[in-house]
Structure 1
Amino acid sequence: MTSLTAIALVVGLGVTLPLYAGMEATIREHLERLARGERVPMIAIGCFTEIQFAAINEGRAAMELHLLEQNEILFMGRHLYASRSKDGYQIDDILKQIMSALCDDAIAHLDTFVSYVQNPNTRDDGYGNQVSDRAVFEMTARKPRAELYSVMPKGDTIKPNKKGRR
């Protein structure tokens, strides 16, 4: 690859993103603790498929950014929970966004400021939208792994209200 400012790579080959066993429940517990105002530790929740990991590192190398040294996805969730709950999303919604964004059809988008994978398939979010979920990663040189920093349901023009579904 040449020096590109943005790269979009198809990284899904019909294999689900391997979250570690029990991670859906663990992520839910993490989010519940954050909702109660508790501090939570950084945890490892899974890894990219070999194809996804190679595609991300190839894109980062093309932009002369440090490569991910370890194929592992970390999660703390503080920013993720704060930003999605501010929009009125509940923990169940946020969990669906995470699981959808980290799917086998995910497309990796990389540039010098942001790296994310996005599910190209839309889903009904229960609020009247068809959304395509995006998982944003922080990939700093001091952390040789990707941290799941946020999720965004792209296309959510109708935000949930704090009193429940419309």
Structure 2
Amino acid sequence: MNTPHELTSIPDLRRQAREHIEQGAVTAGYDADRPKVLQLLNEALATEIVCVLRYRRHHFMASGIHGQSVGAEFLVHSNEEQAHADLLAARIVQLGGEPDFSPETLSARSHAEYVPAETLPDMIRENLVAERIAIDSYRDMVRYLGDQDPTTSVLLKQILAVEEEHADELADLLEGMPAGEH
């Protein structure tokens, strides 16, 4: 049986808040391995940026009878991935880290790959593969954090939910492609 966590007294909360004030949101109660969390968040940031770039390329390169509608969906996904990148960068800063936007190491840090793809079905497939990678990556990160960093965990779960929607939409698009376009 789990024993309830003992609450910190008000005088102790006040005292602790004044200690190490320069650490901002990172208080004495932060239990996670901050350097590891920052590394994971920067990897997630790189993944989101690579996905933004791949979706943008696919948006502009989509052609054929379904090109306009699928390309429009790629643009929506690209914008949502950019929003994820912004949220991750903000959380990195909140934890006292620096978001790594370096183009030199972006691909190496990203969990997903940048695959240009030539045909519309291949574009959909590559984006679906990337979404599936992101889904498993975010699930792993949430499991790793456990209850040590609830704020980051909630953020990752929110992003995960959108990535699952993207994967579902892409799977539907791929299924809707005529046989000759697969």
TM over 0.5: no
Instruction: Normalising by structure 1, report the TM-score.
Output: 0.26
Q: Pick the structure with greater CA Rg.
A: 2
The structure with the greater share of residues assigned to strand is 1
